[in-house]
Amino acid sequence: MAALKPKEYRRNFERLGNIREIVFGIQDGVLTTAGVLAGLSGAVSVRSQVILAALASTIAGALSMGAGAYLGTHAETAVLRSELDRVRRESEEQPYVVQDSLIESLGKEGLTREAAYRVVKLLSSSKDVLFNTAEEKLYGLSGATFGNAMVDGFLMGVAFLIGALVPLVPFMLISSVHAGLVAGIATTAVTLFLVGYIFEGRFSNERRPALAGLRFLAIALSAAIIGYVAGVLIAPIGAVPVG
């Protein structure tokens, strides 16, 4: 494989920054829809009504999650940019504070103080270069820090939709409610395992990706089971006598 150029590395890092939305969306879509199918299958006797309710939940969930990711990233980026502008104004008033902080930072990373001074002196020949470097090295900000609200929202919504289809499609294809539910839960478990296996195991070059898959499956299912048990426990509180 040809070596990636720095600009491609950067794009690659920025793309990897969206893994959170994809994993979150798939996991939430899978579990929410499996939960809806399981819950409604016991309560509603007509299969088509269960499917309709699950479809409605899927569409609402995808839109809600997509909008939530968009709004969350948009707000976060606005706040970060505002804070960054404030820090930039302060830095321009006291550039020597930034310069000396950069010397300290480079020194901690292994450069001698003298070498760090010379590097910072060179960087200081351009105000923008100095402050951009400070933003990355001192404040931990980078291009990947500022998410793209549209991309985040789209990925989250689509990931939720794909995740939701995992238990829903077998349920729709199998005419028996019970068998469809079992197939939906099985595909849910397999999908959760695969998400962990691929994203945590393969992408991060973990030695035992299967373990990563099992860990992801266990955490996701634990959350679902705890949520189910909590629902069963609090159900009597909401039971209001009729008449």
Partner 1 sequence: MLKPGDAAPPFDLPCALEDKLGRMSLASITSDLVVLFFYPRDFSFICPTEVIGFHKARAAFAAESTTIVGVSVDDAETHRRWARELGGLAYPLLADEGGKVARAFGVLDEAEKVALRATFILDPKRIILYAVASPVNVGRSVGETLRVVRALRSGKLCPADWEPGTNVEPTDAKY
Contact residues toward partner 1 (CB under 8 A) are: 94-97, 99-100, 103, 113-114, 116-117, 120, 124
The nearest distance, CB 86 to partner 1, in angstroms, is 17
Q: Looking at beta carbons only, is 100 or 206 nearer to partner 1?
A: 100
Please give the Cα distance from 212 to 207 (Å, whole number): 9
The nearest distance, CB 89 to partner 1, in angstroms, is 15
CB contact at 8 A, 69 and 157? yes
The nearest distance, CB 94 to partner 1, in angstroms, is 6
Q: Looking at beta carbons only, is 96 or 175 nearer to partner 1?
A: 96
Lookup: tokens for 164: 């939701």
Q: Looking at beta carbons only, is 64 or 124 nearer to partner 1?
A: 124
The nearest distance, CB 100 to partner 1, in angstroms, is 6
The neighbour count for residue 102, using CB atoms within 10 Å, is: 21
Q: What are phi and psi of 241, to 5 degrees?
A: -60, 135
Helices (H), 94-148: 95-108, 113-123, 127-137
The neighbour count for residue 224, using CB atoms within 10 Å, is: 19
Q: Looking at beta carbons only, is 103 or 220 nearer to partner 1?
A: 103
Q: Looking at beta carbons only, is 119 or 190 nearer to partner 1?
A: 119
The nearest distance, CB 136 to partner 1, in angstroms, is 19
CB contact at 8 A, 144 and 11? no
* Alpha-carbon dihedral 59, 53, 222, 165, rounded to 10 degrees: -50
Q: Looking at beta carbons only, is 116 or 224 nearer to partner 1?
A: 116
What 3-state DSSP class applies to 190?
helix
Residue 87 burial (CB < 10 Å; 0-12/13-18/19+)?
middle
The nearest distance, CB 185 to partner 1, in angstroms, is 58
The neighbour count for residue 105, using CB atoms within 10 Å, is: 16
